[in-house]
Amino acid sequence: MGRYAIRRLLQLVPVVLGTTFIINYMVWQLPGDPFAGRCGQRPCPDSYVTAMREQFGLDQPILLQYGNFLKNLLTGNMGTDFNGVSVASQLGDAWPITIRLALMAVAFEAVIGIGAGVLSGLKRGGFLDNVVTISTLFLLSLPIFVTGFLLQWLLGVRLGIITPTVPDEATVVQLIVPALVLASLNMAFTSRLTRTSIVENLRSDYVRTAVAKGLTNRRVVGIHLLRNSLIPVLTFLGTEVGSLMSGAIITEGIFNIHGIGGLLWTAINRQDYTVVVPVATLLVLVYLIANLLVDLLYGVLDPRIRYE
């Protein structure tokens, strides 16, 4: 396991360097003005652009710029936003809310997704299976913002069950609907993955052996079948924690939640790219690290992976 972990860690290094390099290159080297939005609705004066180019070292060789970009990121020096407020302190305020939202979303995905998947997989072709298949198909085709606006309008504006936007404190109860919206797409994926996995394993030799030994149905399903079927599902859930972060941009924007996603949404609307880039890069890093952790977890759950 130790060697496997080290190998995976070493494999991550070029990917992190490459991805951050791509981001850095695209933002600063491609045509376009990364400072366009720094001055609000009017174009920036030349003197300001020159000062900014100097501050961000755009006149230096590209590799040196990249080095500085990494150094600033690692030391937490992420500059200030349009109003001169430090990005790092805003991130500090926003993290807890986004983490709460993401954890709730993962919980919904796990409970509802796995539950529906297991039920439909065990009774393949039954009524419940059809209901789950069709409803996941619908969930898969609804872009996340459509689900978001729909629930906001239906529950918030029409029925008045929830407040259309989430207040500042963003308690668990207030976050239920946004978390469901954030989870909706992955919930459908989870349930489908669980179903496929269950259906495949139901035909496997070890399940047949377990049944032949005379074990009760509950034991066969609960111990033998579920444990093996859920390994791919768990890894999927893990990988998707990272992508939830980018889904959070839309969800937090719609429900006006002051998390990382909301921060990005506002910064994009204000064209404040010197804020967007470090925050987006951080989210990419979270995504990559989540993937690494999942790979390690995979190694623990399924020992065969380690010896590939």
Partner 1 sequence: MSDPTATQDLIKGADDPAASPVAVRDSQRSLWRDTWDILKRRKIFWISLVLLILFLLMAAFPSLFTHKDPEYATLSKSMELPSAEAWFGYDLQGRDVWARTIYGARTSIIVGVLATLATVVLGGLTGVLAAYFGRWIDAVVSRVGEMFLGLPYVLGAIIILGTIAPAQSNPSKFTIMTVVIVVLALLGWPILMRIARSAVIQAKHQDYVQAARALGAGPMRIIFRHLLPNSLAPILVYATITIGSFIGAEATLSLLGIGLRSPVISWGIAIADHKDYLRTGPHAMFFPAGFLSLCVLTFVMLGEAVRDALDPKLR
What residues make contact with partner 1 under the rule CB under 8 A? 14-16, 18-19, 21-23, 26-27, 30-34, 36-37, 41, 137-138, 140-146, 149-150, 152-153, 157, 164, 200, 242-243, 245-247, 249-250, 253-254, 264-265, 268-269, 271, 273, 276-277, 280, 283-284, 287-288
C-alpha span between 283 and 290 (Å, rounded) = 10
Looking at residue 80, what DSSP letter applies? B
The residue among 283 and 294 lying less far from partner 1, judged by its C-beta, is: 283
CA-closest candidate to residue 197, choices 118, 130, 126, 134: 118
Q: What are phi and psi of 86, to 5 degrees?
A: -65, 135
The residue among 67 and 156 lying less far from partner 1, judged by its C-beta, is: 156
CB 191 to partner 1: min, Å: 14
90 and 168 in contact (C-beta within 8 Å)? no
C-alpha span between 223 and 225 (Å, rounded) = 6
The residue among 103 and 145 lying less far from partner 1, judged by its C-beta, is: 145
The residue among 67 and 164 lying less far from partner 1, judged by its C-beta, is: 164
CB 279 to partner 1: min, Å: 9
Residue 114 CB partners (closer than 8 Å, separation 6+): 190, 191, 194, 230, 233
CB 216 to partner 1: min, Å: 28
109 and 190 in contact (C-beta within 8 Å)? yes
CB 30 to partner 1: min, Å: 6
The residue among 71 and 124 lying less far from partner 1, judged by its C-beta, is: 124
CB 82 to partner 1: min, Å: 13
For residue 213, which amino acid is it?
K
